[in-house]
Amino acid sequence: MLQKIMQYFNSYVKDGICIAYSGGVDSSLLLKAACLAREERIKELTAAKPQEKVPGAQKKLTKKHPEKTLPEILAVVAETRLHPHEDTLLAQELARSMGAACVILQIDELEDPRIKNNPVNRCYLCKRLLFSAIQETARSHGCLHVFDGTNLNDTAEYRPGLAALEELNVHSPLKDLNITKEQVRSLSRNLGLSTSEKPSAPCLATRLPYGAPLDYELLDRLHSGETFLRKLGFFNVRLRYHAPVLRIEVDAPSLNQVIFQRERILQRMKSLGFSYITLDLEGFRSGSMDIGLSL
């Protein structure tokens, strides 16, 4: 399956590949596969005869530096306050360890009042803003193609942002190759990627109901609460805020652990300014704020 992803990238290597990189499990696998595809192409160029013209080479081969005939793999990280800052630092470090060039973009989504008002199509508006900036950066670095880590499972959920990616002609290899989240994790484990067991971390706006204005101070408090729960050993964690009620989501098998650590959790959540704290008995569900939408 890794070979399928690498083959997907083969025809794009010569034109430059830009990965929209978050440091998560999906985009990390994608970045690793792109770097491996480039390395494989360099080996092919190295093995060719010195004066042989090879498709995709920008000039006659020099066995001494064949890597100079191909653009670097570029990882672009969009740093926003709707995503934890620590994720950006880890993403930058991991991208460089894979041999990719890395660029950090500073973007404030809430400068767009439409996004700040948190409408049902907020994800579309955000993706359009972020990927337009990523494409511009890619082109300025000589990369003609942008790729993202959407996988097959993502298509089963409400993801209006996918329409923005299609409009901007962003490629999604994992989705196109019908690769699931579990397969992504399995491949990542085989490659020894540190992200293989990393929980999904969608933007913090998903913690509020549609129509509730986005506020950085509130989202920062929710992020602090989630970080606390993860330190207690919970894997998938979401704090959904339906003012004035805070709803805790953890994986269903871990519900009893929330009760067991009830006092510590209550103390921390109240210190963050939340007065009414509830536990969702259905457990963690990706996209639970989308329930009841008429789409």
Please name which of 124, 91, 121 lies closest in space to residue 20, comparing C-alpha atoms.
Answer: 91
For residue 36, CA distances in Å to 48, 51, 99, 188, 233 come to 19, 25, 10, 13, 34
**pLDDT tens sequence across 59-117:** 544 455 656 678 999 999 999 989 888 888 889 999 999 999 999 999 999 999 999 99
Task: Give the angle 2-5-133 at the CA atoms, nearest 5°.
Answer: 130
Measured over the CA atoms of residue 107, residue 110, residue 112 and residue 115, the dihedral's sign is positive
d(CA 132, CA 128): 6
**pLDDT score recorded for residue 53:** 56
Please name which of 200, 199, 243 lies closest in space to residue 221, comparing C-alpha atoms.
Answer: 243
pLDDT < 50: residue spans in the chain = 60-62
pTM of structure: 0.88
d(CA 232, CA 230): 5
**pLDDT score recorded for residue 236:** 95
Print the SS3 string covering the chain: CHHHHHHHHHCCHHHCEEEECCCCHHHHHHHHHHHHHHHHHHHHHHHCCCCCCCCCCCCCCCCCCHHHHCCCCEEEEEECCCCCHHHHHHHHHHHHHCCCEEEEEECCHHHCHHHHCCCCCHHHHHHHHHHHHHHHHHHHCCCCEEECCCCHHHHHCCCCHHHHHHHCCCECHHHHCCCCHHHHHHHHHHHCCCCCCCCCCCCHHHHCCCCCCCCHHHHHHHHHHHHHHHHCCCCCEEEEEECCEEEEEECHHHHHHHHHCHHHHHHHHHHCCCCEEEECCCCCCCCHHHCCCCC
**pLDDT tens sequence across 212-225:** 999 999 999 999 99
**pLDDT score recorded for residue 45:** 84
**pLDDT score recorded for residue 144:** 94
